[in-house]
Amino acid sequence: GENVEQHPSTLSVQEGDSAVIKCTYSDSASNYFPWYKQELGKRPQLIIDIRSNVGEKKDQRIAVTLNKTAKHFSLHITETQPEDSAVYFCAASARGSTLGRLYFGRGTQLTVWP
């Protein structure tokens, strides 16, 4: 099955700096890559996703890039704010798969210092 690796496991940045979280996947059939943000004790919230027919997607301060050849995708957060502090999870899934599952990375604890 799919294996998703996520790095780093922890990331500390100063408010206003950028943060980058990277993930790799193993299954070349994977072509849907969502990112979830989870605050302490709360549910994972979908913040952005990308499908394999595009290389980059932006939503305000958040962007995701995808390199299908290298099988890696990244989350970029610019102008970080203290409220961005949370655990971020990447995931991968294959379009049309009847397996119906998302394979998650182990998460990155992002801390933004004021």
Partner 1 sequence: DSGVTQTPKHLITATGQRVTLRCSPRSGDLSVYWYQQSLDQGLQFLIQYYNGEERAKGNILERFSAQQFPDLHSELNLSSLELGDSALYFCASSETPDSSYEQYFGPGTRLTVT
Q: Which residues bind partner 1 (CB under 8 A)?
A: 31-32, 34, 36, 42-46, 49, 51, 89, 93-107
Minimum CB separation of residue 71 from partner 1 in Å reads: 16
- Which residue from 4, 15, 9, 6 is spatially nearest to 77, judged by alpha carbons? 15
**Residue 74 vs 93, nearer CB to partner 1:** 93
- 3-class SS of residue 82: helix
> Closest separation between CB of residue 96 and partner 1, Å?
6
Q: Which is nearer to partner 1, 42 or 58 (CB)?
A: 42
Compute the least distance from the CB of residue 105 to partner 1, in Å. 8
- Residue 61 vs 95, nearer CB to partner 1: 95
Whole-number minimum distance, CB 35 to partner 1, in Å?
Answer: 12
Smaller CB separation from partner 1, 4 or 80: 4
Task: Sort strands 108-113 and 56-59 into parallel, antiparallel or unpaired.
Answer: unpaired
d(CA 5, CA 15): 26
- Measure CA 38 to chain center: 11
Rounded CA gap, 20 and 17, in Å?
10
